[in-house]
Amino acid sequence: MSSPNSTKGLHVITWGCQMNVYDSARMTDVLAPLGYRPVESPDAADMVILNTCHIRDRAAEKVFSELGRLRLVKRERADQGRDTVIAVAGCVAQAEGEEITRRAPYVDIVLGPQTYHRLPEMVARAARAGGKVIETDFPAEQKFDFLPEAITAQAVPGASAAAPGLTAFLTVQEGCDKFCSFCVVPYTRGAESSRPVASVLAEARHLVARGAREITLLGQNVNAYHGTGPDGSDWSLARLAHALAEIDGLWRIRYTTSHPRDMDDDLIAAHRDLPQLMPFLHLPVQSGSDRMLSAMNRGHTADAYRRLVDRLRAARPDLALSSDFIVGHPGETEADFEATLQLVRDIGFAQAFSFKYSPRPGTPAAGAPLRVAEFVADQRLQALQALLREQQAAFNADCVGRRAEVLFTGPGRHPGQIAGRTPWLQPIHVEGGESLIGARALVDIRAAATNSVSGALIGGARIAPSQTSEVDCLQPALEDHRA
Ligand code: 5AD
Ligand code: SF4
């Protein structure tokens, strides 16, 4: 075995949401003092971490098939006298820890999402004992108090190697107490908790000092954020956003994922008052039927969602909305599904994710009667996705003629092009030099496709921070999508 100070290879495979991307970067950081450095391939890795997601179908099977491949790698490396530590992290680890060590006895470490700060100790224990380490408790201490400063840039879709860390994630809240009927999160990520304000602000300043210009605040229920402020009082997400907006050099703030129940007046007002808060909101509704929303234990009605969107749009007329939908939840009738389509038509989404219900063991819906037949759920999913695609294309088409500030994150698909994101999170391509990567500039949006837009730089000039308020991106266009 190599000495504790020599450099070792670390290969992390990440599934699932942005929170897992963030966690993978933090696990990389926590292992750096032990000499672990990221490597591209498991063959070169002294440690492989599978950071897993359990939210929908076949997650565990994907993990087991990857583990099957890693078993061969581990065996080959052992033949060459090299050890390979295999760790399974994330929500599958949390939910199926025992099953993992039973089916894949060559796994050395199984760790739940709340124990990443203990990883170095687990690695040492696994090496010493040559045995299994399973850590899937919810420890009393907060892992964020024990994690080092963020060093590893997260691989963000849309960001390129040319500008690593330009757009960064920052976890501010974890866990969930809402217990939606279908969801494993309250069981795998545990009770809802928020990071203290000082620690969030310190990490944000650190990210900005290292080049971040856009920060996306993460949490399973991010708008339920209630971190302890420096004065001992509870801060809301709105208050946190105001404090972040004061950081020099931080141009853009986003947050995800929000729950309709936690969308308070201050946060709505922040969308009106803070130019740094981008006009894009991911606000899952799941269904447009009150009967289903009640069966799902969502705690809001379809009309409450409509009214909330009205208030948000009154505060920020160009707000682009995104959502999550589930079709085929137990008990869903054709009328319930039609109510979902109607809600979609009423709101007009800029983009959305839609899923076929997948039973998760241990959740209330998994044992519910009146399961929807697969082929019915398939048909509903197709119909919903067709409508959502239409709306996304319509939203992008509506942006043609708008002038928007774009943050350029990397080269475009073709030579001479650069790519970035609009305030509404659309990928955008323009003709331009790579010197603009990492900068923001005003762009006239000229053409639209289903998933992206393209445009032309206005005078090719970069925008100085003081010019932000001149950006003309407030054309209220979303109303046009209402049926
Ligand atoms: N089946 C299908 N979709 C699910 N989601 C969560 N749990 C399930 C499930 N059991 C979806 C929800 C949630 C998104 C992250 O994943 O729409 O908002
Ligand atoms: Fe899951 Fe519902 Fe909590 Fe979202 S609010 S994480 S869907 S239980």
Strands (E), 223-297: 227-228, 234-235, 252-256, 280-282
Q: Ligand 2 mean position to 183 CA, how many Å?
A: 6
Q: Do 179 and 155 contact (CB within 8 A), yes or no?
A: no
Per-residue pLDDT for 206 more than 60? yes
Which ligand is located closest to the Cα atom of residue 221?
2
Cα separation values, 454 from 81, 373, 408, 476, Å: 53, 42, 13, 20
Q: Whose CA is nearest to atom 17 of ligand 1?
A: 324
Q: Do 437 and 409 contact (CB within 8 A), yes or no?
A: yes
Q: Do 181 and 329 contact (CB within 8 A), yes or no?
A: yes
Per-residue pLDDT for 482 more than 90? no
- pLDDT tens for each residue of 423-444: 999 999 999 988 899 999 999 9
Which atom of ligand 2 is nearest to 179's Cα?
A: 8
Q: Whose CA is nearest to atom 1 of ligand 2?
A: 183
- Percentage of the chain beyond pLDDT 90 is 72
Question: How is residue 258 written in tokens?
Answer: 């929000």
Distance separating alpha carbons of residues 30 and 333, to the nearest angstrom: 49
Which ligand is located closest to the Cα atom of residue 359?
1
pLDDT band per the 50, 70, 90 thresholds, residue 366: very high
Beta bridge partners of 431: 417
**Residue length, the chain?**
483
The more confident residue out of 162 and 266 is 266
Per-residue pLDDT for 469 more than 80? no
Which ligand is located closest to the Cα atom of residue 299?
2
Q: Do 66 and 29 contact (CB within 8 A), yes or no?
A: no
Residue 70, class by beta-carbon neighbours within 10 Å (0-12 exposed, 13-18 middle, 19+ buried)? Answer: buried
- pLDDT tens for each residue of 54-90: 887 777 888 999 999 999 999 999 999 999 999 999 9
Ligand 2 site residues, Cβ closer than 6 angstroms: 176, 178-180, 183, 185-186, 220-221, 259
DSSP H helical ranges for 210-289:
237-245, 265-273
- pLDDT tens for each residue of 104-136: 999 999 998 888 888 888 988 887 766 677 777
Which atom of ligand 1 is nearest to 363's Cα?
A: 10
Q: Report the mean per-residue pLDDT for the chain.
A: 88
Question: How is residue 243 written in tokens?
Answer: 């404090």
Q: What pLDDT is stored for residue 323 in this prediction?
A: 97
Q: Do 481 and 391 contact (CB within 8 A), yes or no?
A: yes
Distance separating alpha carbons of residues 4 and 31, to the nearest angstrom: 12
Distance separating alpha carbons of residues 168 and 260, to the nearest angstrom: 24
- pLDDT tens for each residue of 258-306: 999 999 999 999 999 999 999 999 999 999 999 999 999 999 999 999 9
Question: How is residue 125 written in tokens?
Answer: 């224990």
Q: Whose CA is nearest to atom 5 of ligand 2?
A: 178
Which ligand is located closest to the Cα atom of residue 298?
2
Per-residue pLDDT for 158 more than 50? no
The more confident residue out of 467 and 10 is 10
Question: How is residue 210 written in tokens?
Answer: 């290292």
- pLDDT tens for each residue of 293-302: 999 999 999 9
Say if ligand 1 is within 6 A of residue 324 CB.
yes
Residue 359 is given by DSSP the state -
CA 333 centroid distance within chain: 31
Which atom of ligand 2 is nearest to 286's Cα?
A: 7
The residue with tokens 């006298």 is 81
Q: Ligand 2 mean position to 185 CA, how many Å?
A: 6
Distance separating alpha carbons of residues 189 and 436, to the nearest angstrom: 40
- What is the CB neighbour count within 10 angstroms for residue 165? 19
Beta bridge partners of 408: 420
